[in-house]
Amino acid sequence: METEITNKPSRQKVTFIVLISIISVFIIYYSIMSMTSPVRKLEEIKNKFGSKSAENNEVDQRILMDSTYLKLLKEKAFLQSRVLMAETDSIYLTINLADSTANLEICGVVVHKAKMNSVKTSQILVKGNENTILSMLASPFTISHAFATIKKEPLMIKMAPKDTSEYKPDIMPDTSITEPVNYILEMKGGIRIYVYQEENVKFNDRMSHLSFDIKDKLRDTWSALKNVAVLKVPEYHPFIKLRLPRTDAKIIFRAIPKNGQIAVYS
């Protein structure tokens, strides 16, 4: 009897240690896989868009590092993307990080311009190989998914009155004017563009922003855990995060087609 009483706590202790060890190993493994993710994404971009120059070509290397040459490449890449989008006869978005503007265009003509309050860019897009990134930006991005706090196409269903005697004016306030506007545009290549409203004065605005970010992180964490569980490196998403006035952010989101295109000038 005494032996059974003595062994029971011992087994619980061993079980506890085993569980802690398993959890610790998984956390270490998850951390390593997560740190590998950006490196893997950068290699993927290099393999797809990187230029292959001749070996021991010192002249080419000097040109590729020249600031004037890189500036011309940026302008060329941006214009190439705009030309490709203009040929579609559809409205599209251009993001100019140099002058902090987001523009809606159609056939090369700007129909709406918005000034960005702040911009934050993924390190891969800033400190990666500039020539490789510019090669990627030479083609427009295509939206594959969108997550937003507002509806893409708001609908209001009304019952038509039989005559004027049954007509009743709307008494519900128009909340769409003040509703928080935050959304993510995910591109087919995995790049994400986060758009947050500039206004964060009201408590509802701050809570909406916080809730939106938490949901995004939970989606990414769940996706990463599923990949790690099958020994796959989690997907890394290079990002551009910008703040726009609420009205401009809403106009842009509802104007761009579901699978619309975006060009970026870095």
pTM recorded for the entire structure = 0.77
**pLDDT tens digits, residue range 192-242?**
999 999 987 688 888 888 999 999 999 988 888 888 788 788 888 899 999
Residue 219 covered by a domain: yes
Residue 168 covered by a domain: no
**pLDDT tens digits, residue range 91-111?**
999 999 989 999 999 998 999
3-state SS, 202-246, equals CHHHHHHHHHHHHHHHHHHHHHHHHHHHCCCCCCCCCEEEEEECH
Residue 11 covered by a domain: yes
**pLDDT tens digits, residue range 37-85?**
777 777 777 777 765 554 444 545 566 666 777 888 889 999 999 999 9
Residue 167 covered by a domain: no
Indicate the number of domains in the chain: 1
Cα distances (angstroms) measured from residue 64 to each of 73, 195, 261: 10, 32, 28
Structure tokens belonging to residue 118: 């702040």
Distance CA 34, CA 257 (A): 33
Q: What is the CATH number for 233?
A: 2.40.440.10
**Structural domain of residue 39, as residue ranges?**
2-51+58-160+175-265
| Nearest CA-CA partner of 265 in 148, 145, 66, 116 | 116
**What integer pLDDT is reported at residue 156 of this predicted model?**
55
Helix, strand, or coil (residue 179): coil
Residue 169 covered by a domain: no
For tokens 């011992």, name the residue. Answer: 10
Indicate the pairing of strand 182-187 with strand 101-106: unpaired
Residue 170 covered by a domain: no
